[in-house]
Amino acid sequence: MKIAILSDIHGNLPALQAVAEHIETWRPDRVVVSGDIVNRGPSSAACWDFIEVRQHSVGWRAMEWRAMYGNHEGYVLAYTRPDFDLSRLTPMSYWTLRQLNARVARLADLPETLSFSVDGWEVRMRHASMLGERDGIHQHTPNEQVRQQIAPAPTVFCTGHTHKPFIRQVDNTLVVNAGSVGTPCDDDTCASYAQVVWHKGHWQAEIIRVAYDREQTNRDMQTSGFLDTEPFALIIYHEWRTAHDMVIPYWQQYLARVQASEMDEAAAVRLFLSQNGLLSS
């Protein structure tokens, strides 16, 4: 049994295409897309169509493709709910909603959890953890906390969300974080996915890095309208460009001040990028 796990595509079509080509060469039995197909990137509609074709084509090159729900699918779906609080409007997510158009209704059909058994051993997939789509598991998360995040403990637990891939053993569970196809944050600009294999009575996993046409992604960022959605999109852009954490440090330093109207968001973004050597002034 061979399983490919990919996560956090975030509308990066060239990265998705390159990873899919690598996967098709490897020829796994199953391919699981562990959420965040859309949003936070320039080509959400194209990425969704790419995945959907493979999900609904029977025996796509002898591989079964399945997709799951992530927190960014949730951000886009929020706009379709009658009780949505307009004060929480995020221009980037609304831009993605408009890009997806009628496709957005199908996001609600994605499962939050996928699980199957191989020779009596459970393999379970979640976007982040059993505690929620934003509750990430990290390389150095204490075992006590991980036990709560994966409970009830399966034999293999596959996740994403953090954009930082790793493989670790927690008690009797192999925990595999596939990282990010579209926006890695571990200082490696290559797309990331995980290969999980049942071999001779044991589960094994490997993180695979795949180079792709980053110049095309950059053009997509510049020409799609994504960077015009809101000032924060520039933080997302530089996080993609550098493959280094930008969003969380920016939030830690400036989010509260922006939300309290103590600072204009555009000014906060410029200051943060300047402090990090990403703007000339």
- Print pLDDT tens along the chain (281 aa): 999 999 999 999 999 999 999 999 999 999 999 999 999 999 999 999 999 999 887 655 657 999 999 999 999 999 888 887 766 668 999 999 999 999 999 999 999 999 999 888 999 999 999 999 999 999 999 999 999 999 999 999 999 999 999 999 999 999 999 999 999 999 999 999 999 999 888 999 999 999 999 999 999 999 999 999 999 999 999 999 999 999 999 999 999 999 999 999 999 999 999 999 998 64
Residues facing 168 on adjacent strands:
175
Q: CA 250 → CA 37, 215, 246, distances in Å? A: 23, 25, 6
CA Rg value for the chain: 19
For residues 270 and 198, state if they share a domain.
no
Domain presence at residue 204 = yes
Residue in the block written with tokens 């637990």:
157
CA distance 178 to 246: 20
For residues 249 and 205, state if they share a domain.
no
Domain presence at residue 157 = yes
Question: What are the strands of the beta sheet with 121-126, ordered from one edge?
Answer: 113-118, 121-126, 156-159, 173-177, 166-170
Domain presence at residue 63 = yes
For residues 268 and 147, state if they share a domain.
no
Domain boundary among 153, 181, 210: 210
We report the CATH number of the domain holding residue 63 as: 3.60.21.10
The parent domain of residue 54 ranges over 2-210
Domain presence at residue 218 = no
Residues 6 or more apart in contact with residue 174 via CB below 8 angstroms:
155, 156, 157, 167, 168, 203, 205
What end-to-end distance do the CA atoms of the chain give, in Å?
A: 53
CA distance 27 to 195: 11
For residues 104 and 152, state if they share a domain.
yes
Domain presence at residue 77 = yes
Q: What is the pLDDT of residue 103?
A: 94
For residues 92 and 194, state if they share a domain.
yes
Q: What is the pLDDT of residue 281?
A: 46
Residue in the block written with tokens 């799609």:
224
For residues 73 and 190, state if they share a domain.
yes
Q: Do residues 133 and 74 make contact, with C-beta atoms less than 8 angstroms apart?
A: yes
Look at the chain and report how many structural domains it folds into.
2
Angle between helices 265-275 and 233-242 (to 10 degrees): 20
Which pTM does this prediction carry? Answer: 0.95
